[in-house]
Amino acid sequence: MTKELSHKIIRALQRHYPDVKPDLRYGNRYQLAVAVILSAQTTDRQVNAVTGALFRAYPDFESLARARHSDVMRLVRSTGFYRNKSKNIIEMAKVVTAEHGGRLPGSRQELERLPGIGRKSANVILSMGFGVPALAVDTHVMRIANRLGYADSRDPLAVERALTACIPERHWTLAHLLLIRHGRAVCHARRPLCDRCPVNPLCSSPDKTR
């Protein structure tokens, strides 16, 4: 991958998805952090279906830190892995309340210390919540990065480094959103819709359908 080819890819995706935006619904950093933890191994649509009631019951870190595990499990059950997820968001809220005065920390190091938040989640929170350039690698981003030739790896950190080496820092957030949208809409894991792909002429993946 070259920076010139990468620029063409991002521009083509941007033209194809001019209205790209996060699919998770959130109104502040508290809601973003909780939604990101709940989004593990499920769809953003499923998370959005439960967070309305969850945030009405627990509108901030302090109230969530005092919540009963059984009550939170009931609210997030449909997102899957609800026992661990409910435990993580409660413990995360406790740490933020006790150690950060109820305000979500804005550094990668402090975010990754919070229960339920790893590098990918920290990148999403930094990017969407704090406006800090970051490029989170989920399954869609990894698949497309490999298909387009940015990387040849299943290691998320290696893929992240390959992408950020070719994409200008100011476009990291945009690129993350574009690659996710493209993965969901066109570049599917099993049957990519190559005839509808805006970057088909720029792609030499052996996974392409003819």
Point out the residues that are catalytic: 120, 138
CB atoms within 10 A of CB 5: 15
Structure tokens at 58: 């627990």
| C-alpha to C-alpha distances, 147 to 1, 10, 78, 144, 159, nearest whole angstrom | 11, 14, 32, 5, 12
CA 82 to chain CA mean position, Å: 19
Cβ pair 78, 43 in contact under 8 A: no
> Distance (Å, rounded) from C-alpha 62 to C-alpha 25?
21
